[in-house]
Amino acid sequence: MINRLTMLHSYAMGILIIIGGLVLPQQADAVPAFARQTSMPCSACHFQHFPALNSFGRSFRSGGYTLTGGQGMIEGDDISLPLMLNASVITKLRYVKSNGNTNAGSDFGVIEWPDEAALLVGGKLAKDAGFLMELGLTDANSFLSTKVHFNLGKAGNTQFSAIPFSTDGLGAAYGFELLNTGAQRSQRPIEERRGFSAAQALGLGSGEATGIALVASSHNFFINYTPWVPGWEENNLEVKPSGLAHYLRAAYTPFIGSWDTGFGFQLWSGDAEVADGAGGETLIATDGWVVDGQMQGSVGSLPLGIYASYGSCSSDESHFLEGCTNTDDGEAFGMLAQLGVLPNKANIFAAYRTLDDGSDDDSKFNATTIGANYLFSQNIRFEVYYVKESGDGVDARGNERDSKWLFQLFAGY
């Protein structure tokens, strides 16, 4: 009885916070780094809410963040640079409550502040070059993720680009990704990334990665081939060019009627060959694949986004993902639907995921997620969701944890 009352109290707190956000005064415009550079609101590039991209947002990213608006520029021979360095502070404040038996951490209830705190600096670097850099505000090494986007030339409507990058946790797809299916960790419509995305559930779409994305992109497709190594900072960066693994991504992004759609695949292949620190070499397996798709449009006047993906990682004891070192291949399927009940303000969503981690026993981890988010302004989002897990792997947990709820404030200044 006490547990039931505690759970009801927790849900009531989340609802009251959301309602409070609805009645507080609102700002009209968003102000993160790219909005400053382009003099456009966040909604120009994002579908429903940040960070999910719409077709214009995909075009802006494909162009290497070089589009400018009313901001002053320094122009001259071989220089085209904004007068100001464009930056944003990104932060998350979260409260998490799970139902495990440890009476500690999230099982007790925990405030995570900051769950994330970073300075994002980016924009136009030259006429045909742009960059994005994430500087951590709570980490000893503040250079978390960096990429520099060079536009090399065009053939018709196809842009060719080269993008060297390194990231502490956003995966091999960090160099270049346009879909909102969770193919790349930070590119997703909801906070619970593992609850709707096969790439995130398996881990293929996240982790340390350093490489160079070689890209061909147009308004209705993109192809990204990336030689890379699962390493960052001082980890696994002693590698020969011949010892890099391979990542291949291709997607078709047509409009079907009024629906903005995308259908693609991701393929990780080969072993990265890195120095072992003792004069020898170590092989790191990377094999895996994902197919994914999305549809973004409206039902009547209500915006609707639908996202789905299915994938597998190959079982190998040397795989860069711990979850892909079990007896059999790991497999995952995920899908998400998000409906804008108050267009450009409030959304409700539901997601479902299946995961088999390839273990001999207790390998099934399924999850159902329901939630809502509300835009206080275009750059401030409140989100609350509840996750219920099932499967023999969940049942075998010693902590008996199979559900959680989370409330989050996500803001970019």
pLDDT in tens, 9-62: 444 434 333 333 333 333 333 337 888 889 888 889 999 988 999 999 999 999
Query: What is the reported pLDDT for 333?
Result: 98
Query: Average pLDDT of 241-266?
Result: 97
Note whether 50 and 42 are within 8 A (CB). Answer: yes
Q: What is the rounded average pLDDT for all residues in the chain?
A: 90
CA-CA-CA-CA torsion sign (18, 20, 23, 28): negative
Return d(Cα 129, Cα 133) in angstroms, integer.
Answer: 14
Confidence (pLDDT) at 12:
40
- In this prediction, residue 141 has a pLDDT band, given cuts at 50, 70 and 90, of low
Calpha distance 334→329 (Å, rounded): 17
- pLDDT at residue 111 is higher than 90: yes
pLDDT tens per residue, range 372-402:
999 999 999 999 999 999 999 999 999 999 9
Closest CA to 375 of 107, 105, 10, 43: 43
Average pLDDT in the 80-104 region? 93
CB atoms within 10 A of CB 115: 18
Interatomic CA distance for residues 208 and 228, integer angstroms: 10
Residues 6+ apart with CB under 8 A from 44: 38, 56, 57
Q: Average the pLDDT over 113-134 and give the result.
A: 91
How would residue 71 be classed by pLDDT, with cut points 50, 70 and 90?
confident
- Residue 24: predicted pLDDT: 34
Q: How far is CA 207 from CA 98, 144, 145, 168, 410, in A?
A: 25, 12, 11, 7, 22
Contact 217, 62 (CB under 8 A): yes
| The pLDDT value given to residue 137 | 83
> What pLDDT score does 139 carry?
65
* 315-328: average pLDDT: 93
Q: What is the average pLDDT across 335-360?
A: 96
Question: Is the pLDDT reported for residue 93 higher than 80?
Answer: yes
- pLDDT of residue 124 exceeding 80, the answer is yes
Beta pairing class for 245-252 and 129-136 = unpaired
Q: What is the pLDDT of residue 75?
A: 92
Instruction: Pick the range with the lowest mean pLDDT from 112-116, 244-248, 321-325.
Output: 112-116
Tell me how far CA of residue 174 lies from CA of 8, 16, 142, 147, 194, in angstroms: 40, 37, 18, 8, 17
pLDDT at 3: 44
